[in-house]
A and B are shown apart, each in its own frame.
Chain A
Amino acid sequence: MSTVNATDMDDARPAAAAGKGPILSLRGITKTFPGVRALNAVSLDLYPGQVTALIGENGAGKSTLVKTLTGIYLPDEGEIVIKGKPVALTSAHDAFERGITAIHQETVLFDELSVAENIFLGHSPRKRWGMIDWKAMHERSKSLLAEMGIGHVAPDTPLKELGIASKHLVAVARAMSIEAEIVIMDEPTASLSHKEIEDLFVLIDMLRQDGKAILFISHKFDEIYRIADRYTVFRDGEMVGEGLLKDASQKQIVRMMVGRAVDQIFPKRETEIGAPVLKVDGLSHPTEFADIGFELRQGEILGFYGLVGAGRSEVMQALFGITRPSAGTITLDGKPVEAKSPADAIDAGIVYVPEERGKQGVVVDLPIFQNVSLPSLRKTSSNGFLQLAEEFRLAREYTERLDLRAASLSQTAGTLSGGNQQKVVIAKWLATRPRVIILDEPTKGIDIGSKAAVHEFMGDLVAGGLSVIMVSSELPEIMGMSDRIIVLREGRIAGVYENDGSLDAETLVSVAADIGEEAAA
């Protein structure tokens, strides 16, 4: 299987798909939560041997639908029909028994268990008296993994030793081992690198050949067009369109999603690029990166591109004082910066908006205003005593600037939607009045409307004289937003490019992945 290549896949696609009715149908599914109608009489069909893409902005009801399908939520109205028979999915186990399995964005597996145990958890082969048949379990895992082209992963490897991509593959192996007929993939590519996504697609195609019905949820259109046969679009809890992808253009689908046409995803803006603000020279770390040197100019957006694990975030964390570099200098406005802690970096004027908004950005149980003032507390408090009025003033100023929609600044940040939480995070950093703002994957996992808002806002930042470093794995974003692009590979700078229109995506990808010209072509 490891020899399957892209051409084989493409040819085989329509063959299995033709002329079969849906294996699973949702009819008139409604699910309400206090104050919200998350799903409103939606329908969805999944066909054997076809990949159906579920498309919609954040809050459109995709997650609720997945939870309905996996037996976590019980719908208020409507029916679920599997192979022509109406069924009630009243528990996760129920859904599992009916042959439905889900592979989540953050893989729900068990780090401390072995690969084989993860694959067979809940349905492990048994010997007499209910003892687990370890031998059979390992053998079947081995053949499954080999079949999937990842025979190099030993079944007794502890899962925690695998990378995120391999964990996804284990989840797929699990789906195959229970002979699931319906496989739900909820943003499986969100934390994968380019190469890992390719591997996953090979597997998805295998599942398709096998006659599985696949529901594929992704924000990325290139992926959807690559892998899916059908689409279903959700907006505000309703199904607004479905059909075959080959009959629909990207523009049409975007229009369905947002209810309006989005012409320009990347707002072009003209800014005056000024003198160098930040100078980094010979920055090195014992294990993560070496000899990083670059200049960031006033009003510039500097893009950092590279594969997952290339050391991009690690370099940024060193600039921000979270990790200590072993060598090198950082100069801001001509003055050397020695960031021993994030507090030092913030005081110097460098801020870092981390990648994982939930984990690293928002303090969900604190009110909005306290979230905004958190990094500025040293400025808004005197002698260790907080000045609540000053905090409110700061929070109001910056949340208004970002058009944050909240009933009150005293409500906890956890009650806001994802997009608004992102705004709280950005507001809190702007409130520190930085010179340099580092955005790590600023639009990862957010919907297309919020994305455009973040991009527009980046334009405003640089127009206001700030300098921005943007780390991103999304090529369109890197190429659409950056003035210059630095490609990192294995902890070193592999290339620096002026983004003047002559640069093409293939160059970036091949430099990042260190593949020769012939492979990139």
Chain B
Amino acid sequence: MKRLLRTREIWLGAAVAAIIIATELRAPGFGSLRNLMEVFNNTSILMILALGQMAVILTRSIDLSMASNLALSGMLVALTNAAYPGIPVPVLMLMATGFGLVLGAFNGALVWRLGIPAIVVTLGTLTIFRGLIFVIAGGQWVNADQMTTDFVQYTRIPVLGLPLLSWYAIAIAVGFFVMMTRTSIGRAIYAIGVNPTASVYAGIDVGRTKFLAFCISGALSGFCGYLWVSRYVIGSVEVANGYELTVVAACVIGGISIAGGVGSVAGALLGALFLGVINSALPVINISPFWQMAISGAAIIFAVVLNGRTNKSRGRLILKSAETVK
């Protein structure tokens, strides 16, 4: 399986590279290091969110509330920053992360303790969180002039040529890699995704593991709330509206199986980068935004077909190779 996964990730990496090269031929300069760093920076938030979503999807769940969580946490720190400009930004970052974690824990608790399917829980909280933004902001926006310089700069300060935003994504990716491959929570997440029953018998608390996965996705959503508001210098009800589906798409394209248990950090990152590169490349070669959506959509279906095929050849289905024999 590892080899198959590797191949898939290599294929995805090759696809990303091919798009970059093809665009470079049409629009010289797209493939320059400078521009690629820009694309990476633009995709950072998506990559972080895709990692959080991956943790949840691996446990056979889904978190549809990530974008709403992001928007609510972002609004919270934007309002705080506007009202109390003296609070240092790192504290605000922690606040966003912590608040997001609480929202994620709420999702997780409902899934764990009440046994409600994750898709239902997070579909509900998606709306609730979005609605709460109205409540706390009174329907107002937080604009650039209300934010402190630090608040805006903490995603922009360049370190070794890359903006801090990119570094956050890199740090979280490294941390995630360690967590998924080297800690018992990572192992538990994979195990319950592949075989929940066997995991129960092995002494793993399936409900608690799911709960933790939701806490992780919630905390990352909250952190991204700050990143988003700082990067786009706006806090509003509309922030990241519908973005949860882009996040799920990145995971699916990255080869994370919706059925749980299969997927890797590299896959999630490449899935996000794939979407990021397409979204930057198409305008450069003058393709209308409508086509961009269609192409992203086609990529998702293609990825699912590819995943379906690899699953089949691994003999998961009862009538495994009924189709492939003929």
Seen from chain A, the residues whose Cβ lies within 8 Å of a Cβ on chain B are 72-74, 90-92, 108, 320, 322, 341-343, 345-346, 352, 354, 359-366, 370, 374-375, 377-378, 381, 384-386, 388, 410, 412, 414, 428
- Residue of B188, B191, B203, B261 touching A341 (CB-CB under 8 A): B203
Alpha-carbon distance A383/B201, docked complex (angstroms): 22
Q: With A72-B319, A343-B203 given, is the CB distance from A384 to B197 under 8 Å? A: no
- Residue of B187, B198, B319, B326 touching A377 (CB-CB under 8 A): B187
Q: Summarize A's interface: helix, strand, loop or mixed.
A: mixed
Q: Can you name 13 A-B pairs with beta carbons within 8 Å?
A: A74-B325, A108-B318, A342-B203, A343-B205, A360-B197, A360-B198, A361-B198, A361-B201, A363-B194, A365-B1, A366-B191, A377-B184, A412-B2
Contacts of B321 in A (CB 8 A): 73
Q: With A381-B184, A384-B183 given, is the CB distance from A92 to B322 under 8 Å? A: yes
- Residue of A92, A360, A365 touching B194 (CB-CB under 8 A): A365
Evaluate contact between A74 and B184: CB separation under 8 angstroms: no
- Residue of B1, B202, B261 touching A375 (CB-CB under 8 A): B202
**A-B pairs with beta carbons under 8 A, tally:** 93
Evaluate contact between B205 and A341: CB separation under 8 angstroms: yes
In the A-B complex, the 9 residue pairs with the closest CB atoms:
A343-B203, A375-B202, A374-B202, A365-B194, A342-B203, A363-B195, A346-B203, A360-B197, A381-B184
Chain B 233-263: CB-based contact to A (< 8 A → 1; otherwise 0): 0000000000000000000000000000110
Evaluate contact between A385 and B182: CB separation under 8 angstroms: yes
Question: Within the complex, what minimum Cβ distance (angstroms) separates A146 from chain B?
Answer: 32
- Residue of B184, B201, B318 touching A384 (CB-CB under 8 A): B184
Q: With A72-B322, A386-B184 given, is the CB distance from A364 to B200 under 8 Å? A: no
Contacts of B2 in A (CB 8 A): 410, 412
B146 close to A (CB within 8 Å): no
Contacts of B94 in A (CB 8 A): none
B204 close to A (CB within 8 Å): yes
Chain B 182-218: CB-based contact to A (< 8 A → 1; otherwise 0): 1111111011001101111111110000000000000
Contacts of A378 in B (CB 8 A): 184, 203
Alpha-carbon distance A509/B201, docked complex (angstroms): 30
Seen from chain B, the residues whose Cβ lies within 8 Å of a Cβ on chain A are 1-2, 182-188, 190-191, 194-195, 197-205, 261-262, 314-315, 318-319, 321-322, 325-326
Question: Within the complex, what minimum Cβ distance (angstroms) separates A348 from chain B?
Answer: 11
Contacts of A108 in B (CB 8 A): 318
Evaluate contact between A365 and B318: CB separation under 8 angstroms: no
Evaluate contact between B191 and A374: CB separation under 8 angstroms: yes
Alpha-carbon distance A13/B314, docked complex (angstroms): 44
Evaluate contact between B183 and A381: CB separation under 8 angstroms: yes
Most A CB contacts (10 A, CB to CB) among B184, B201, B321 go to B201
Alpha-carbon distance A90/B204, docked complex (angstroms): 45
Evaluate contact between A412 and B1: CB separation under 8 angstroms: yes
Evaluate contact between A364 and B195: CB separation under 8 angstroms: yes
Evaluate contact between A354 and B201: CB separation under 8 angstroms: yes
